[in-house]
Structures are given as structure tokens and as C-alpha cells.
Amino acid sequence: PGFYVDRDVVRGVDVRVKRGAVVTGTVTSRRNGEPVQGAEVVVHGPDFQHQDGGGLFGGWLGDPNNVPAQTVTTDKQGRFRIANAYTGGAGEVQLMLKLEINHSEHLVEVVPVNVAEGGEIDLGLVELTPGGRIRGVAYGKDGKALAGGTVILTRPGGAGSFFSETRTLDARGRFSLGGLKAGTYEVSVYNAEEASSLLLFTEAPSETVYVEEGGEAEVDIRLSDG
């Protein structure tokens, strides 16, 4: 609330802060039960939907409930600890948060959790499903590896497919995209000049490939002479 400043005295600026909640858990892989190190656990509000992040503006829009950004990473044992999770505005007794768990080799998992001020919650084991992977090599018109180009992965007709994944080709023209849901994907490639300009919105060489859950698919692409 507002406060009054007198000539030599400032009144009414006592500030009461709320205690956050403590949320802990252990992330494991559904493939073998082993702990998953390096998984990111991101705190979101109750209206968060994971597919919203796949659109054109994605994460630029921020959290739909204005929950402060907070991210922790799992350790070697797959454990995480959120020490001061947001518990809502003034007058709210309990708030449902959504924890978005990301790892490059697994599918994203969203876990709801109800938190109260000063509360402590242990989620126990949280299992991640292994994702598929698409890897390959892109070649230029001259048949040489397309170093420094860009590969864009989309799901034709799928929700949130626009620019769903983007990678830069390495010095040998190689790329690898993991953590994918089972399904059919379209892989498009651009050279370095196109990737740095608006030509990204023009038609590009592409290949369609199917990847199984936890499986791996290979695809090679060559720029056309057209």
C-alpha cells in the first residue's frame, strides 16, 4: 500500500513477506529406472499449457498467471529442490503450480502440485518417457557438407508445430534432434546465408521421416539446384 513521507519521518513502510513452499522430487527414466541428471524443472502457474511454447511467440509471452520465473536442475541422483516456490498473491491460502520437466533425451512432463505458504512437498519419483531422435547430414548443391546451415523440424498438421525445433549444422553438416514424440516429422534445411535472412520463410529442401517412441531415425538432405 501507499505510505506518507513527512519532513523528517517516513511512516507506514513496514513490509510483510510470505514464505514460499519447498518442493522436492527425484526424476528417473521410464526406460531403465535410472536417475536423470541435468533435467530442468520450471515453475509455472495453473493455466500453463506446454503446447503454448511451440508457437511463434513461445516463451516470449511469459507465464499466464504471472508466476515469477524459477528453474532448478536435477543433480547426479536425479534429485531437485525448489526452495522458495511461489504460493500466490495476498489472501490466497493454496495455489496449484505446474512443474514443467525438460530433458534433451526425454519427452516433456508436466506435473501439477498444490502448494501452501511455508509448506513442504515431496513428489517422490517422477518418471520421464524416453523420446525419439532424428539425426542426419545436410549437403550443399556441390555435394559437400553444409556447415553452418540451419535445420528446422516441424510436425505437419500438428498443434504447436511452427518452428518446433531448430538446430545449427556443425562443421560436417551434421544435426541431431532428440526428445521427440512418436510421429511423422518434416525436416527442412537452409544454408548459412538463407538462415541469416528472411529467406527462412521461403520453400526449402525437406524430407519427411517417422520416428518411434525412444527410437532413432536417420535422414540426409541435399540442397537442390532450383
Residue 2: per-residue pLDDT:
72
Band of pLDDT at residue 161, cut at 50, 70 and 90 = very low
User: Which residues is 186 bridged to in the sheet?
Assistant: 154, 208
Q: Are 40 and 102 in contact (CB under 8 A)?
A: yes
Among positive and negative, which fits the CA dihedral 134, 136, 140, 145? positive
Give the model's pLDDT for residue 58: 47
CB 183, CB 210: distance < 8 Å: yes
Closest by CA to 103, choosing from 45, 41, 149, 150, is: 41
How large is the average pLDDT for residues 64-76? Answer: 92
pLDDT at 95: 85
- In this structure, which amino acid lies at residue 86? Y
Which tens digits make up the pLDDT trace of 37-60?
999 999 999 999 876 444 444 455
pLDDT at site 120: 94
Report pLDDT digits (tens) over 76-110. Answer: 999 999 999 998 865 556 789 999 999 989 999 99
| pLDDT at 114 exceeding the cut of 70 | yes
> Any idea which residue has 512443474 for its cell?
99
Instruction: Give dist(CA 177, CA 181) in Å, integer.
Output: 11
